[in-house]
Structure formats: C-alpha cells, structure tokens
Structure 1
Amino acid sequence: MAHHIIMDVDTGIDDAMSIMFAVRHPDVEIHAISCVAGNGPVHQVADNTLKVLDLVNAPEIPVAAGARQPLIEPARPPGAVHGASGLGRLRLPHTSRTMESVHAVELIRRTLLTAEEPLTIVASAPLTNLALLLRTYPELSERIERILFMGGSASVGNATAVAEFNIWHDPEAAFIVFSSGVPLVMYGLDVFNRIRVDAARIAELTACADPVATAVGSLLGNEIVDQATGRALPYSMIGDAGTICALVAPELYSFETWPLQVDLAPGLGRGQTQVDRRRTVYRRDDTPWASASIALDADTDSVLELFFSTVLPQ
C-alpha cells in the first residue's frame, strides 16, 4: 500500500532516523518536508534535514523552514539530548541542497492543494506549523487524510513528569490541531520509550563500513546524562522513526481510540495529554475533546526488524 505523506520535523537524532526510514521504504512517498523549531533552532533543523536527505541519496524533496518559536511562549532553548548540532556526535558534510524560499506553512498548503488526493501529515515535532496552517487555511483540513503525530503520552512524560516534549513545547498548537476535526493518530511515549536497541547492535553499526549504518549507530549511541543519577546512557531508541513504522505496519502495534485533550493551564501539568480511558464518564467540563487512535503497545522486536531491514543495505 502506498503512503503519500508530508513530514513535519525538528530534525534531531530520531527525526533523522525517521527521515532515513521514510526515504528508503518503498511504500512511502514524501511530497514535502516542513521544519519547525524544537530539538534545535529552525535554521539548524532545516540544515540537518537537507544533510540527512543527502546521506540516504534521497530524490529532490521540497524542504522549507517554518515557525521559529511556539505560538505564545518565547523561543525555547534546545535541550541537551540532541547536542549542539542537533545530531549528537554525528557529523555530516555540507549539502548543496537548498530550501524552498517560502514559509513551511505555504509549502504545506501548496503541497496539499496540488496533490491528487488527500495526504497524511506525519509530525514528529512540536505542532506549531500545523496549528498555523489550520488557523490560516482551515479549509485545508479536507485535504488532510489524517495527522499521525509523535507526541503526548497516556502515562509518563519526558519534558516534565507528565508532559511529552513535543506537546509541552507548544501546548496551544497541540490544542488547535486536536480541535481541528482532522483524524488523529497519536504515537506517544507509551510505545516510543520501549523500542530500544541493545549496546551490542549499536557497536556493530558504529563499526560498519556503510555510511548510513555508521550514522545510525552514531545516532543511537549518542550519550545523554541522566540528571537524577549523573550516569551517561546511550540514546538507544529509534524514537520518531517508530511513527513511520506505525504508518506502514500498523499491525505491529496495538491501537485504541480514546478521547484526548491537552492541559493548557500554568503549572506542573502544562502540556500533559490527558487520555480519558474511563469506560464510564460521569461528568466532564464543557471543553470538547478530540478522539484519537492511540498506540499503546508494540511488538518491539518486529518493529526493530522492520526499521533495520528498511534503512540498512541488504
């Protein structure tokens, strides 16, 4: 089955692996890539995206830079997870690819309008670009088949105890997207945190002669410091790439449909995705809740096999 998509990214370590997988999977056609500030400033995100496309010898794909900061809050500094370059220890050569001269929102609009059929948007970043699109051109919601986003959680957070980074980075944007009426598929931390690569496989990849395998090993092996213990641990997760895996092989995941909302209030809960998994609801406030198909479990071994068999040379 062919999947025609627009990618919305903040290319850091796992967005890079997501792009690699999407480019190399035979059933995925990327019509455009929009970039947004998140794992790094948007100019760095765009440059990383172009370099990753070079790495996997991608065909020409339109890439544009978009929002530089969240809708309401000031620009957030990038965290330590992805390093100063956004790609951890990985160093990629200069690219001759160039970005589109238009804002990412205009690139998405143009791509949706010229596509022969509605497209799926796969978002692995804060949802600022998509919120701007849907507020500026609400009629385009009919041209979007669905929004499959890496974000949120029905359990723990990572940016805070309860909030996942992409949603926490711009909760108002998430609220707009959730309220748009576009079908939603949520790939959150419930599965994201579980799909990990062991140290032996990472070492094998890092020592490989193939540049793509070496790059994947470098990304997976990038060390991050656990602030609670001070220990340096490898990143080890395919992260955002699991979202594209879920697109092409949903049978490897367990999805359930539940009401979904995001907490916009100041305080410890800001940015939390509230997934209402009650079987019987006695009362609720007047705020409308979206409905989303939410990934809650996965066959992790099969997902990793799909990822590596697609990305690495055979």
Structure 2
Amino acid sequence: MRQKIIMDVDTGIDDSLGLLYVLASPEAELLGIVSTAGNVSAPQVATNNLALLELCRAPDIEVALGADTPLAIPLQTTEDTHGPQGIGYAEFPLPPRRISPRSGAQLWVDLVREHPGEIVGLCTGPLTNLALALRIEPRLPQLLGRLVVMGGAFNHPGNTTPTNEWNVHVDPEAWQEVFAAFAAAPADRRPLVCGLDITETIEMVPDHLARLAERARSVPEHEVSETDTPGTRSKASNPIVRFLTDAVRFYFEFHRHYDQGYLAHMHDPFAAAVALDPGLARTRAATVEVELGGTITRGTTVADWAGMWGREPNADIVIGTDPAVFFDRLIERVGDFARTVYPDR
C-alpha cells in the first residue's frame, strides 16, 4: 500500500524539488496540495503547483488555495531568494489545471477525516493553513498518521534573523498553535521537525545536477558552472531537467551572493525524503515552543531538550543524517522520473 501524503507548500525553488521527489517516489500517493503564502503569494504558489503538475504530466491532483496572509501579521515574501515567480529563472506557461473550490484548511480537514490515521502531512512552508485546519478540526493530531515539517533552528543560527528560520518567521503564531496542538498527539505521532541544523548540511552543488541530468539521459551534460554568466538559461533536452536547472541556478547564485558558496540548501526535498522514510533521520525528542513576545527573538524556536519545563515532548527534532544517501535517492528518483515522463527527450 502506498503512503498517502498531503503537501502544504509555499513553492519556492526547494519546495518544487520536494514536490518532484514525492511525485517521483513509487511508494507515495499524493492526495492533495495546499498552497501557502510564504516565498511568494498564495495565488502564485498555487499557479506554480498547478504548472509543475502539468510539467510532470501528473494525474489530476487537487490543489487548494490557502490564506492570503499569516494569522496575525502582514505577509512577507522572499522573491530575492526564489525569483519573481518563486521558481528562480524557470518560467511556466499558465497551466490549464484549475484550483480546487475547497480552501487549503478545508482540504486538510476533509482528507484526514476521510483517511484517519493513514496520511502523512508534509509541510515545507509556513504553517498558516495547518493552524487554520486545527481550528476547524482539533482532533487533527490524532487523525493524522504523522506530520513532517521543515522549519525552525535550534542549536543553529537563523537564516532570516540571527535566531529565526524563514518558515517560522513568516507566521510564528501558526507554528506555536501547531506545536501546542500536537502536545496531545501520541508519542509515535509527534511531528518530525527538519530544522536548519540539518537542512543546511544538505548542500546541492552543480555535480548533483549533472548526475541527475545524466540519469535522465538529458543532454547536454555538465551544464551548470560557477563561471557561467549569471542568469544563463538551460538547454537541457528533458523539460523537467531544464526546469530544475533554471530554478536551482538562481538558488546557487543567491547562496554565492551571501558568501555561502556556489551551492543550494535543499531544505524541502530532504523533508520530503524523511516523510517517506523516517529512517533517513536521527531524531531527538523535545518540547518546542515559539517565542512570540521577544523584542529581538520573536519567531525563535526554543527546544527544551532536558525536560526543564516538566512537560512531555511535542516534537522529534532531526539531529543527524547522511546527505550523500539523500542525494543518491534524489538523483535516482527524480532522474528516472524525468526519463519516464519524457522518454523521447
């Protein structure tokens, strides 16, 4: 039996690779996608999701539009990191597919009620719509099989403020509501949290893209180089490889601009891989809260590792993995998928 998945994303360069990873995984059954405002606006996220499904010749998977704004603060977006449409230098035509009439929060609720205990929720953006779903259905932590989230920074600097990870920074109230709600979840259903401590060790470099293109039998090989003119567009024969190359090149250039090297942190596809195989991650249980009142620390994720608060853990935080194993899986799955979808390219 395939693992039922609902994805909640703010697509987003690395979100798009997370979505591709799930679509390329034979053990996954993607039931629906919630489009959450974050990297770009919610309507743009939804358009990206629909267009990516069209590019991948995917079945008719329901894509729902989420809330326009976070729970309590104005929306911040990050086109400087992900490009004007959220997909780097890649460009999509307007997709023929249509948005679901259900809201993102309602899609969460309806799916977990239809499939109690069977769904893994995979969230790679702000948790706005999951928090709204919890307000509709407080039993969601018991109805969901497992929750995997990409967000937070624990024993690690933030990537938005000195302490804040982006997804939490966009809607800290939502993250706090989710962590509080999942305090009632059984121990085997605590959220798996993929924070910056680990995801910033998942570094994609041009060789990974070259290996993926080779696996897909796409030409030309070795297409991306640090010496390329910024904004160079891909000539890859395979449309999925071409999309990935144009999207990730933008991410390489962004990281280099901030002196992190010509690389890209693959936060979200790593979370997707963990959602399908938790054995990829070593975890440690903790009680997590999100700081909402601090003048300079608002949005910080705080983990009580030692039980000082006297409360049961409400999260399993990923503390270790083998990035090489992850990249081997990503290259194998997405490369094979691209070749299967476009066998003549």
Q: TM-score with structure 1 length normalisation?
A: 0.91
- In the alignment, the residues of structure 2 paired with residue 293 and residue 230 of structure 1 have an alpha-carbon distance, to the nearest angstrom, of 31
2:264 aligned to 208, 218, 236, which one? Answer: 236
1:227-283 deviation per Cα after TM superposition (whole angstroms, max 9, x unaligned):
9x76696452322011111122333322111221111114221111112234xx5x5
Query: Aligned AA for 2:14?
Result: D
Match of 1:123 in 2: 123
The residue that corresponds to 2:140 in the other structure is 140
Q: 2:327 aligns with which of 280, 304, 310?
A: 304
Corresponding residue to 2:290 among 252, 262, 285: 262
Shift of 1:110: 1.6
Change (3 A) 1:230 1:176: closer
Deviation at 1:26, TM superposition (A): 0.3
1:211 partner letter: P
Residues 291 and 113 of structure 1, relative CA distance in 2, 3 Å threshold: closer
Over 3 Å counting, the alpha-carbon distance change for 1:226 and 1:3 in structure 2 is closer
C-alpha contact 1:220 1:234 (8 A) present in aligned 2: no
Runs of 4+ in structure 1 displaced over 3 angstroms? 200-203, 205-208, 223-227, 229-235
1:198 aligns with 2:199: no
RMSD: 2.2
Q: How does 1:285-300 map to 2 (within 5 A)?
A: 290-300=313-323
1: CA distance, partners of 2:320 / 2:247 = 24
Q: 1:116/1:275 Cα in 2 relative to 1: closer, same or farther (>3 Å)?
A: closer
- Aligned-residue identity in percent: 28
2:159 is matched with 158
CA distance in structure 1 between the aligned counterparts of 2:136 and 2:13, rounded to whole angstroms:
31
1:201 positional shift: 3.7
The aligned residue for residue 39 of structure 2 is 39
Give SS of 2:113's match: helix
- Gaps of at least 5 residues in structure 1 are none
| Residue pair 2:159, 2:165 contacting (<8 A) in 1 also | yes
Distance 1:94 1:2, change over 3 A: same
> Are the aligned partners of 2:208 and 2:327 in contact in 1 as well (CA < 8 Å)?
no
- Gapped regions of structure 2 (runs ≥ 5): 211-221, 224-233, 340-345
What TM-score do the two structures reach when normalised by structure 2? 0.83
Tell whether the 8 Å contact from 2:160 to 2:166 is kept in structure 1 after alignment: yes
Alpha-carbon offset, residue 127 of structure 1: 0.4
Name the residue aligned to 1:275: 303
Query: In 2 relative to 1, CA 230–28 (structure 1 residues): closer, same or farther, beyond 3 Å?
Result: closer
Please give the alpha-carbon distance, in whole angstroms, between the structure 1 residues aligned to 2:246 and 2:208.
11
